[in-house]
Structure 1
């Protein structure tokens, strides 16, 4: 699994450069505010396993108009750190690493 470069952003976390992306258009359940917000992260230089993070909240452009906060770089950095603590190895090839976040502290 590889992230599409178009629409992705780069972030440096603890000296490593990652590419992250929130889906441009919501899936049908996300548009109905029935599915949570998710985004994907991978190493920018050496591609390996992709992190798929799912969080409480809704996409800002869902059809229901639910209030939602944006996914900001400090949040992505905190999620990357948490995933690494839980065993995500971004520089090794393999299946996607799924992480469900209940709360995130911006360290």
Structure 2
């Protein structure tokens, strides 16, 4: 699986190039099962391998419970989460299934 190029942003983390994307509209899962939080998809930009999906603790503005308190996902947040996912075992250059993590208390935790 790979993420679409349209709407992606480039980021360099520890000298490795990645692209990342935040879904613009809440998916069914985001709106109803994940309490309407934002999801971020990340993949290596040169060697397509496993995709990282980050279930953030940030509310989606179009989620089930609309909120006026929007906390944006910044490039520094994304870089930090990528580093944490690599420490948890994500191998962005190796083909494989989607690697899912959830953000809790500012830390990434692997979801099985």
Please, which runs of 5 or more residues in structure 1 have no aligned partner? Answer: none
Structure 1 stretches of 4+ moved >6 Å: none
Which SS does the other structure have where 2:18 is aligned? strand
Moved more, 52-61 or 33-42: 33-42
TM-score of the aligned structures, taking structure 2 as reference length: 0.83
- 1:93 maps to 95
The runs of 5 or more residues in structure 2 that have no matched partner are 108-112
Q: Distance in 1 between matches of 2:40 and 2:2?
A: 13
State the superposition RMSD in angstroms: 1.8
1:63-74 aligned at under 5 Å gives the runs 64-66=65-67, 67-74=69-76
Contact 1:78 1:104 (8 Å CA) reproduced: no
What is the aligned partner in structure 1 of residue 42 from structure 2? Answer: 41
TM-score (norm 1): 0.87
Q: Is the 8 A contact 2:36 2:65 kept in 1?
A: no
